[in-house]
Amino acid sequence: MIDSLSAIGVFVKVAEVGSFASAGRTLGLSASAVGKRVASLESSVGAQLLQRNTRKISLTYEGERFLKHAMRILEEIDNIEHAMLASTESPVGRLKISIAPIPNFFSDCFNAFLEEHKAIEVEFDFSDRCVDLVGENFDAAIRLGNDPDGNLRSYYIGEIHSVIVACPDYLNRFGRPEKVEDLSSHSLIHYRSRNSGMIQPWPLTKSKSIHLPQTIICNDIEARIKLALNGNGIAFLPQVSIKEHLNKGAFCTVLDEYINDASTSIYAVWPYAHRYSMRQRVLIDYLKKLKL
């Protein structure tokens, strides 16, 4: 393939200057090397492309037809090379990013990136599923949990803290739980992971010996927030997702002193590569600046 493209380039140059020697001087080849490449091309296409005599070289009928196609081919290759060069020297193209579905955090964090790099198209995939970055063509992911797979590059962003909350109306109607045991008589809103199918545990002291009612189970954080705001029960929610509701008094925290460890680590991860495109490099640089 590469040899054929090289021979096509030589043929086009010979057609342009009308001489093996002149074409060779331009291309840094001997006249005999130019002649051999043209002969090889003619053999490949099964037609004589050049009429040779001692005075000049001219195109045959087949040569004229082939030249038109050859020039389009070389022009397209030149366009491809320029496009590839642009993608490595300037941040353009599409990025695909997997993000753990934590409302009011990650979308806000990417506002500055989107504003700065308007030539980059971004596809966000919000899911708690641990996607195969390479197999599914993801450029990066934001993941919750322990230190990621060693086969990926990673950067520690920080911790997300969760709290147990209820709206004032619910607490007025059913009372505020003062100790962990009180939760057994309350309506609780739980989260089931779409990825694992497991119900998220509440990290409370003595909770193993106490039955926590599974009044409502939901696999969407925003839905749980709305259910709790409407007075349907008590929920364990990421603080960053309900900060505005807490500030306005729409949510009240309960049992703060009984929570053992309500923090979850957040990592940015991306695949190893020998060479990253410019859009991937600016994304990686941006992810390394994210902090909670």
What does the pLDDT average to over 171-180?
95
Most confident of 35-39, 64-68, 79-83, 249-253: 249-253
How far is it, in rounded angstroms, from Cα 142 to Cα 126? 10
| pLDDT recorded at residue 167 | 97
**Number of neighbouring beta carbons within 10 Å of residue 222:** 12
Residue ranges of alpha helices (H) inside 133-183 are 168-174
CA 71/CA 285 separation, integer angstroms: 41
Q: pLDDT-derived band of residue 291, with 50, 70 and 90 as boundaries?
A: confident
Domains of the chain: 2-89 (1.10.10.10), 93-158+265-287 (3.40.190.10), 161-262 (3.40.190.10)
Kindly report each contact of residues 241-245 with a partner whose C-beta sits within 8 Å and lies 24 or more positions away, as own/partner.
Answer: 241/102, 241/103, 241/104, 241/105, 242/104, 242/163, 242/165, 243/104, 244/104, 245/165
Q: Model confidence over 204-253: pLDDT tens digits?
A: 886 566 889 999 999 989 999 999 999 999 999 999 899 999 999 999 99
Helices (H) and strands (E) in the chain, counts: 10, 11
Residue 281 has pLDDT above 80, yes or no: yes
Q: Which residues contact 76 (CB under 8 A, 6 or more apart)?
A: none
| Residue percentage of the chain with pLDDT more than 70 | 90
Pairing of strands 263-271, 140-144: antiparallel
- The two tokens of residue 267 are 């990592």
pLDDT at 107 over 70: no
The reported pLDDT for the residue numbered 85 is: 62
pTM of the model: 0.64
Going from the C-alpha of 284 to that of each of 151, 153, 208, 214, 269, the distances in angstroms are 16, 10, 41, 40, 9
The string of DSSP codes covering 173-185 is HH----SGGGGGG
CB neighbourhood size of 134 (10 A) = 12
